[in-house]
Amino acid sequence: MCQQLKIPRSSYYRWTKPKEPTPTQVRHDTLTAAVKRVFVREKGLAGRDQITTILGHEGIPVAPGTVGAIMKKQGLRAVRMRAWKKTTVVDPAARTGHIRNHMQDADGNRDFSATVPGTRMVGDI
């Protein structure tokens, strides 16, 4: 092909393997450093979407897919935190003195015997 185009073969190889990095490689190296910096600063808790948002606020426009590819190549993986919600809150001011266990007799022993069927039932959750 070089003979048909009348160019030296060395020019072709110089074109395929340039000595200085291309602008794309320079930007990718800059983004890699920025992603690592944010990941370390956030203690590994920020994923690709959070890092994309943080970099956007810092003035570095980048797509989430690019951040994800950089993180995957660098071996960075965010720690996932499971949501935890307390579902029962004890109210210390709750008035529970009027509630009595109808399954206990006067001595506090459990009594499941009934004179009429269906008046005392037991279940388990």
pLDDT digits (tens, 9 = 90+) for 30-67: 999 999 999 999 988 889 999 999 999 999 999 999 99
The answer as to whether 72 is a domain residue is: yes
Instruction: Tell me if the pTM is above 0.75.
Output: no
Parent domain of 70: 22-80
What is the CA angle 104-90-102, rounded to 5? 15
Query: Residue 88: what pLDDT?
Result: 82
Average pLDDT along the chain? 85
Is residue 26 situated within a structural domain?
yes
Total domain count for the chain? 1
120 located within any domain: no
In a domain, 106, yes or no: no
Report yes or no on 38 lying in a domain: yes
Question: In 10 A of CB 46, how many CB atoms?
Answer: 21
The reply to whether 104 falls in a domain is no
In degrees and rounded to multiples of 5, residue 5 shows phi and psi of: -85, -10
How many Å apart are CA 71 and CA 78, to the nearest integer? 9
In a domain? residue 10: no
Q: How many whole angstroms separate alpha carbon 64 and alpha carbon 53?
A: 9
**pLDDT at residue 12, rounded to an integer:** 84
Q: What pLDDT, on a 0 to 100 scale, did the predictor assign at position 100?
A: 72
CB 13 within 8 A of CB 49: no
